[in-house]
Amino acid sequence: MSLYKVIEIVGTSEVSWDDAAKNGIEIARRTLRDLRIAEVTKMDLKLEDGKIQYRTRLSLSFKYIDEG
């Protein structure tokens, strides 16, 4: 039997929404083991000081490991 946990993250980029998603996943995989699925749930823009920041919200699932 397997159990998976789902979390929500927001990746950012000054280049594109795709790049924002990749950045979010790359950072998340540094601390999460066994990532399985990444689902884009929302994309938006943050406008600050005349610059655009792309933001991609992702639901990530990874295998839950009971260490208890």
* Predicted pLDDT of residue 68: 66
What's the pLDDT at 21?
98
Domains plus CATH for the chain? 4-63 (3.30.1660.10)
pTM, 2 dp: 0.85
pLDDT at res. 33: 85
pLDDT at 17: 97
The DSSP element (H or E) to which 67 belongs, if any, is none
Taken as a whole, the chain contains a residue count of 68
Tokens of 47: 């406008």
Q: Positive or negative CA dihedral for 50, 13, 18, 7? A: negative
Residue 67 has pLDDT above 80, yes or no: no
For residue 63, give both structure tokens: 């295998």
Instruction: State pLDDT tens for residues 3-46.
Output: 889 999 999 999 999 999 999 999 999 998 889 999 999 999 99
